Every structure is written in C-alpha cells, then in structure tokens.
Amino acid sequence: MKLNFKPAPNYRSKQSTTGIMIDLTLCLLAVALFSVVYYFKAYGSALGTRVLINLVATVAAALVTEALWFKAVKKDIKEGIMSSYGWVTALIITLISSVNANVYALIISTVLAILFGKLVFGGFGQNIFNPAAFGEAILMSTFAATSADLLSGATPTVTYKGFGWISTADQLSGVIAQYGGLGKMFLGMYDSTMGSTCALLILACLAVLIIRKDIDWQTPVFYIGGVFVISLIVGLVRGAGIQYALFNVLAGGVLFGGVFMTTDPVTSPVSIPGKILFAIGAASFTLIIRWKSNLSDGVLYSILLMNMLTPMIDRLMDGSQIKDSGKLIRNMLIGSCAFIAVALLVGIVAIQPKKSAAAEPETTVIAAEALETDAVYDTAWADAH
Amino acid sequence: MSLLTGPMHHHLDGHKELTAHNPVKKLPEPDVVWIPLVNGNASCTPLVNVGDEVKIGTKIAERNDHFYLPLYSPVSGTVMAVEKKMTTAMKMADHLRIQNDHKGTVEKPFAPIDYEEATNEELLDFVKNAGMLGLGGAGFPTYVKFLKPENVDLFIVNGVECEPYLTADYKNMMENLELLKTGVLAFFKLSKAKKGCVSVKEDKHDLIAELKRIFEGTPIEIRTVPDIYPAGWERTLVLLLTGKRYDRLPIEAGCIVSNASTAIALGNALVNGMPITHKYVTVSGTGVNTPSTVIATVGTLAHDVVEACGGYSSDDCILCAGGPMMGRAIPNDQFVVALETNGLTTFKNEPVKTVACLRCGKCTEVCPNGLQPVRINAAEKIKDVETLKKLDVMSCIECGLCSYICPSKIDVTEGIRRAKKYLALTKK
C-alpha cells in the first residue's frame, strides 16, 4: 500500500491546454475547408488544390521543424510536438496569406516562425510575438515578389487603399459592390486572404470557442468592437456613412485576427482589464496602420505591436483585483482612451482621399510596400548607426 | 463587476451523490485514541498525567494563550503516553494516547443550560467552556467571535459545505435538526443580530425543506447559495448573502458566521451537557471501496476509518485530510480524526501531465480573493519580492481553485504557497 504526496488541491478540471488547442485546430480546419471549397468552386481544381497543398505543406514544415528541434535539444519528440502546438501556427500563416503566395515562401516563413518566433524563446508559452504573425510578417516583407499572379482582382483593403481609406459614401458603396455587397462579404464569397473572408464562419468559431471556454470573450469583442466603433465615428464624421464601420470590420483580417490571433493567450495580457486594453490598443493600431502606412492592412502589425506591449500591460495591471480595482480600472481606461483618441485623431484629421481612385493589383502593391518598408528599415538602420 | 474581473468562483462537480444517499455508519469505538494537543498553530497543555484514568468528558488539555479552548476525552480509559504524531496539517505534534477500556463511563464536564433563560454572559461562558470551535475546518475557538457583538446585521450559519465529495455537514444537519435548531438559536441570541439565517446550497432540496420546517416560527431564515466553489468560504458567503466585502473580519460587514456542525455541537452541549466526542466524517473518492459518511470517535486513526469503509481500492493512492480542494495529501494514514476533521478523500494515484503555462489567465478569473495567481507564480520563480508584495500574496487562502482550473495542470496554488513562505522569511 502506497500513499503519495501531491500538493493540494488533488482535484483538477477536465479542460486541458491540449483540449483547447484541439478546439482551436478544429475551428481553423473549418475555416480552411471553407477556403478550399470556395477556390475549388470559384476557380476550379487547380486553385482548390493549391490551397490544400499550401495547408498541408506548412503544417508538415511546422511538424518537421519541431521534430528536429526536439531531437537537437534531446527531448521526447512526440511529447514535444504534442505540447508545442506548431500546427496551429502553420494553419494560421497559410490562412492569412493570399492564394497567390508561393508555397516555398510559405514553408520558409513557417519554419522561421516556429524557430525564431517561438522555439528560441523557450518554446510554447515563452514566446513574445504571436508566431503566426511573426511568420506572416516575414512572408510579406521578404517574399512578396515570389507571389504568383493567379487572381487578378485586388482584395477589398487594397482596393479601398486606392481611395486613401476614406471616400464619400457613394464611392465606398461602389467598392463594396465590387465584392457583391456587404451581405456577400459577410458570407465570404470573394477573393482575399484565404481564411479571412467568411465572417459568418469566423463568428461561429468565435461563439464555439467562447462557449467551450477556450478563449475569453473580452479580447475579440473589444478588438472587433473597437475597430467598429472607431471607424463608425470616423465614417460618420467624414461622410462615408455607417457602412464605413461595417466595411472596416468585414474587409481584411479584422475578424480572423480578432478571433484567432489577438486571443493567443501566450502573447496577450493575463488579466481581464489587461486583455481589454490590449484589444483596444490593437484595434486602434489596426486602423492607424490601415489609414496611414503603406501596408494594405494593419491587423498583423497591430497584433505584433501589442504583443510587444504585453509585458508592460501585465505589469500595469499587477495588484489585487479587489483591493486595487480602482487602480486597475483607471489604468485600463487611461490607456484605452489614449489609444482611441489617437486613432480618432488620425481618422478624422489625418487621412486624405486620393484623387486617382484606381484599384491596383494586389501583388504590385505588396511589392511596392515591401520596397518602401525596406527603405524605411534602411533609414532606421542608418539612424541607429 | 464581472465584466472586468471574471466570476471569482467556479462550479465544481461535487460527486456528493457518492455518499449523500447512503445511511450514516457509526464506527465501533476504537481501542486506542490519540488526541492532538494542538489548536490552529498553538499547542495545548495536557491536564492529565500518564497513567491517569479518564472518563468520556474528562477535561484532558487546554489551550491557554490569548485564546482559551478546553479539550475533553472522547473515551473512557487510561492515558498511556504523550507521543509525537503527524497532524492533518502535516506537522508533528504531541498527541495524548488514551487506551479505551470500552466501559463508556461518562463524566459530564458541565451542566446543560437553557439558553433562553441564561444571560448572554452565562451563554458565552458556556460556549467557551464547552470547547466549541469552528468545525468547518479552521478550528478557531468559537466564543471569540461573540465577545463583542456590536451592530451585527446578520448572523449566518454556514451549512454550505462547498468542498467536493464531502457530505458530513449535510448528513449531520439532516440527522440532528433539533440540536441544530437549539444551537442556531443560542448563537443567534449571543450575536444580538438583527437577522439570522442558515445558508445551504440551492440543490439540497430535501435539506432545505427540512430546515424550513424546523425553523418555522423562529426569526431564522433559510437562504440558499448557488452551487459554486468556494461558496462556503466566509468572504464569498458574506458577499453572496449581503453583497458586501470586508477587509479582515466579517463583523466589518455586519456579519458573524458560524459553521452548521458547530451549531449542532453547541445544541448537543446545551441539551445533553456533552462536549464534542464524535465527528461526522465523509470518506469518499475513487480510492475507497465503499464511500460513506461515518460517525467516528475523535482520535480514531485515519487508517481505521478508511478500512471501515471497505479499504483502499488501489495499492497506489492519495489520501487527503479533508476535501480534495483544501485537504492536504498526507503520505501515510497514521494521523487521526481531529475535532475539525470532516472528511477523508482518497483517489487512485493517476499521473498528472503538466505542460507549459499558456498564460490564459483562468486562475486570475476564478480566484475568489481577486489575486493573480499566474503573475504570482511568475514573480515567485524569480523571487521578485516587490512584485509579490504588490500582488497581495499573503491574502491567499489556498482554496486551490487556481490549480483546479489550470488547463496546463500546473500546481499554481503550490507556487503561491512557496511565494508566501518566501515572503514570510524575507520579512524577518
């Protein structure tokens, strides 16, 4: 007869981290399935297969990278892979890329994301940046020129960028009509990054993940709500109408990023006021980057920026949630108001409509962005030295 | 303010059906009992010598520092020795070993009194001399709470029993309703409270009906609380019943809280003139063959209690002194049923697979005291004293909910215990 010691409590909930990741994976697979079916139906088997190959290739790349890593650091490979969840990163990278993306570029970005975005920090739970966002940033800034030209139509965000992200209500209606109207956009029946189109499906995933307590509702709701409210005010002030807010939420990666990327617990704050501040900060950065940068969308970099601020937000929210609740709420309100105020200022004062509102093909825009980003980096590099 | 804080509690699967519907077994009187000479962190001085004859009810020891608590013998027989033994708090302490002569001779240590006629001073003295203590697990001498009952709005009898698996309070209340009524009314009188209530979980329909019947016509209300953990913790209970939080003691929120089993023990003392000699103890979990709630003599070996319930169901078990949330796992079963013991839960030893913290913050959302366990664990790892102080570590009550909820199966509560110890050491 052996009686063992284990520290109390000796009672555990049934929910496990692996269970959470399985739920998340199933949701991502549902989104991926939608994407495969859409491209099969819209463009035939060549593009449908391409989506499938991209998904399989990146997941395989993630698993092989982790297997080699765990072999190198002399850990049990199967256990290492099963508690590192690299396939989630791979799925997200593929789903936030265009179908035009080169499969080798996707593979390299995934490998770098897993390796330098996660493993070198100490593995799952230790990384500072969302690995998928990290990988996608590499893809966008390094491999834009390798993209194929399979789809000639630009994504909604690129098209509207041609207008300078602000226009009259009529012009915006014209842009929305290009994609079949807001209803079609809600259902996701248009070309854009592979996984980010079907709002209905992504919101259904959000509901499932919240009901199954896999994620907190605060982060996605305050992120998506933040984008909606800020752009609603800007749209009303600038005469683009209520549809401006809906367009800002539906176009680009706001919904996908809000549901699958801002909610990454590893790289977001732990307390609820912290999560809300994080979400509102990301919403503000998303819009500011959309409106004022050379990039076509701001979701990715807004998440990376807020990832960077996460340790600071956590420190800001240190304390007892009861005894220091006043301080925590004050910090949250001050931070959120500051973010919102800057976004509103930029939206109301600083964005200007472009005179020639011609939609350019996505690839050239991205290539141009890449060049300009490089130029910015070069300047920064020169400044630093 | 649950929009910004999370619920600060959680529903647990209580598994109370394992023992709630079975009849209560009275265990045979043991041949030997060991009486722990401790109360809380203080030791008690023995009042008998080795070789002395004692009867049931003989005062054998007392705590006599800033608090007073007498200990009475639960059996008749001979004091054999003072021995070191591990307690349910997993500390070594002196125990009086008493050989039971099975004659059951009784020496009533105090006379029964009528609480309605007695003055409050007499009643308070009675509570003090009868050795009443918090039977919910804390073992705090009861009379202290009633020393200066000023501006008490609500006297609360805590029958919530929020620990999973335990049904000792439930069974005790169901079987001793008259004693409960006497004890509750006596405490209510002592508290000088405007209102009084007995609070139980809302899913205990049979108990609620019985309580409503027995307290009909008295000023005592029956208040139900939701089936959440830790609804039976003083702070959570006061918050659930009054909506108020307090800093140190419930009296700040105008409340005095007493455990239901303590009220029954007082009822027994008032009516029968007897101290606490037996305890309702739930023996449950996957590690015992026939889970049951039993009546065990104070001082019975845990080993004997488990054996009386069919023994262990596996050769590799975990035995918790109390419920699985707050009860310590003790690596042997040679400790005894103490006055404040209300359960022994035992589980087959199954490996817990731990993965890295994913910083989900669930521990922060459920902490009933509003702490941030994930941040405390992170600060503890690097021994960051300043941050630990900021995180209010010392107010953790080790309810265990943070470890329970952790999807990565990390011993979060243990990390906080380490942090508390470290902080206590750095203060000195």
Whether A362 shows a pLDDT value over 80: the answer reads: no
Size of interface A-B (CB pairs under 8 A): 172
CB contact under 8 A, B361 and A270: yes
Residues in chain A within 8 Å Cβ distance of B395: 320
Q: Which two tokens stand for residue A143?
A: 């491999």
The residue ranges of every structural domain in chain A are: 18-146, 156-384
Residue A354: pLDDT band (50, 70, 90) is confident
Residue type, B150: E
Residue A356: pLDDT band (50, 70, 90) is low
- Beta bridge pairs of residue B79: B98
Of the candidates A126, A318, A329, the beta carbon closest to that of B4 is on A329
**Which distant-in-sequence residues (6+ apart) come within 8 Å of A379 by Cβ?**
none
| Location of structure tokens 């030893």 | B349
**Which distant-in-sequence residues (6+ apart) come within 8 Å of B383 by Cβ?**
B422
SS3 B279: strand
Q: What is the pLDDT of residue A380?
A: 40
Residues in chain A within 8 Å Cβ distance of B374: 270
d(CA B202, CA B222): 10
Residue type, A143: F
Q: By the CB < 8 Å criterion, does A279 face chain B?
A: no
CB contact under 8 A, A3 and B318: yes
Q: What angle is formed at CA B329 by the lines to CA B323 and CA B334, rounded to 5 degrees?
A: 105
HSE-CB for A46 with a 13 A CA cutoff: 4
d(CA A227, CA A245): 8
Q: Which of residues 322-351 of A touch B (CB under 8 A)?
A: 322-325, 328-329, 332
Spatial CA neighbour of B298 closest among B335, B266, B261, B337? B337
Contact B405, B425 (CB under 8 A): no
Provide the whole-model pTM.
0.91
The pLDDT tens digits of the residues spanning B314-339 come to 999 999 999 999 999 999 999 999 99
CA distance A82 to chain B (A): 10
Q: What is the pLDDT of residue A373?
A: 46
In chain B, the domains with their CATH numbers are: 22-109+275-348 (no CATH), 120-272 (3.40.50.11540), 354-427 (no CATH)
Residue B428: pLDDT band (50, 70, 90) is low
**Which distant-in-sequence residues (6+ apart) come within 8 Å of B275 by Cβ?**
B57, B70, B72, B109, B130, B131, B269
CB contact under 8 A, A10 and B320: yes
**Which one of A10, A124, A277 makes the best mutation probe of the B interface by having the most chain B beta carbons within 10 Å?**
A10
Of the candidates A4, A12, A20, the beta carbon closest to that of B409 is on A12
CB contact under 8 A, A323 and B408: no
**Which one of B301, B334, B355 makes the best mutation probe of the A interface by having the most chain A beta carbons within 10 Å?**
B355
Q: What is the mean pLDDT of residues A247-270?
A: 95
Q: What is the pLDDT of residue A51?
A: 94
Q: By the CB < 8 Å criterion, does A360 face chain B?
A: no
Residues in chain B within 8 Å Cβ distance of A325: 1, 4-5, 370
CA distance B310 to chain A (A): 14
The pLDDT tens digits of the residues spanning B350-388 come to 998 999 999 999 999 999 999 999 999 999 999 999 999
The pLDDT tens digits of the residues spanning A56-107 come to 999 999 999 999 999 999 999 999 999 999 999 999 999 999 999 999 999 9
CA distance A321 to chain B (A): 5
The pLDDT tens digits of the residues spanning A95-124 come to 999 999 999 999 999 999 999 999 999 999
CA distance A206 to chain B (A): 16
Whether A153 shows a pLDDT value over 80: the answer reads: no
Spatial CA neighbour of A200 closest among A216, A184, A214, A212? A184
Whether A366 shows a pLDDT value over 80: the answer reads: no
CB contact under 8 A, A12 and B403: yes
Q: Which residue of B has its CA nearest to A330?
A: B4
Q: What is the mean pLDDT of residues B236-240?
A: 95
Q: Which of residues 100-159 of A touch B (CB under 8 A)?
A: 123-126
